[in-house]
Amino acid sequence: MLSRAWPTGHACRSYATRNNFVPARRSSAVATAKHHDPLHVLFCGADDFSIYSLRALHELQKKCADKIESIDVVCRPDKRVGRGLKQVQEVPIKGVATELGLKLHQIDTFKGWLPPTPFDLIVTVSFGLLVPARIIKGARYGGLNVHPSLLPEFRGPAPIQHTLLQRRTLSGVTLQTMHPTKFDHGMVLDQTRTNLPLDSRYQDLVELLAPLGAKLLAKGIYDGVFIPPLQECGNSEREVIPSHAPKITPEDRHIDWRTWTAEDIILRDRVLGRLWDNTTYGLCMHPDRSSLPLHRRATFHGPWRVEQGAGGSSSLAEGRPGTPLLSKCDTPSQFGIVTADNRLVVPAEITIEGESRLGGQKKLTHVIKAFGRKSHHC
């Protein structure tokens, strides 16, 4: 049964007021909150973004025991990584769940898995696995998802990266229901918008959006937005075109010197890092093109800088390595490449596939010394 009820307990009222969940005095806004029995929550998360939401739910449980009775956490299993698979890498949220004393379940698939006890609500935040319909339907109130974009924009696994790559100045977080067969296609229940700082990095947006998402989730549970009849949040402020934010792959870091401008290089280094190509090494080793280029991957480490005027004064084609300033060509870091807009960009460091961290850099530096003063390029 639904009823208009002010949460009992001074701590809960103080928590709600402090977080702007309800106004300090009773009003019509309070009447919209739906009463529900204390929830058994199954929280599915993984990364730093999801940690904010888990902590917010745990705080809500402590302050408002009539809202949440228990929280179980689901995350992916530990994985062995590195050379020889000798290092064990934990999902970031695992340590937080352990710190908070929450029951933990580590699974790599939902196939054949059933929750150990009945749950009232499933919550997913940056989880990465699609929770099957049988588990969503098994929860009394279904599921909620927190997504770091203004849905239906940037549905998919990498919304923050694609928001930055498309140079958006406005973003936000969305609270939606969980769809039984598709990611990010549930009913939008609430959204929060925010302007983005210039030149933001991925972690900057995590630290900006994650607290907003955590607050949106806690407020949604406090208000009982998951209790039928559900009320959809409209996008009346602006027209929103559905779009997809696919998973970031190594190819997204693969430099296309024929089309990428200097600004593209700076942007992708800031958002993705570790850009690479398989042409620079061969061009440096065979500057006169008398032999076939050697296809070995060169990985560039930022930050990059743009050498003003160097590209425009050169006849080099895009993708050709060059030395930005002849007076500095003895310095390993003074090694640039011409972009599609005829500018010379200089990485902080270069590593070569199959070489030690310093070995590849020394080899390219030797070539720069041999050819740089003669032709202004390798």
Domains in the chain, CATH or no CATH each: 10-223 (3.40.50.170), 250-375 (3.10.25)
Nearest CA to 107 among 152, 45, 52, 169?
45
Which of 3-7, 82-86, 148-152 has the lowest average pLDDT?
Answer: 3-7
- For residue 307, what pLDDT is reported? 80
Q: List Cβ<8 Å contacts ≥24 apart for 25-30.
A: 30/4, 30/6
Q: Sort strands 298-301 and 275-277 into parallel, antiparallel or unpaired.
A: antiparallel
Residue type, 91: V
- pLDDT tens-digit series, residues 157-214: 999 999 999 999 999 999 999 999 999 999 999 999 999 999 999 999 999 999 999 9
Beta bridge pairs of residue 261:
none
Instruction: Give yes or no for a contact between 171 and 148, defined as CB atoms under 8 angstroms apart.
Output: yes
- For residue 359, what pLDDT is reported? 61
- pLDDT tens-digit series, residues 299-334: 999 999 898 655 444 456 667 766 554 334 444 446
% the chain with pLDDT above 70: 78
Give 203: exposed, middle or buried? Use CB within 10 Å, 0-12, 13-18, 19+: exposed
Give the whole-angstrom CA distance, residue 148 versus residue 213: 7
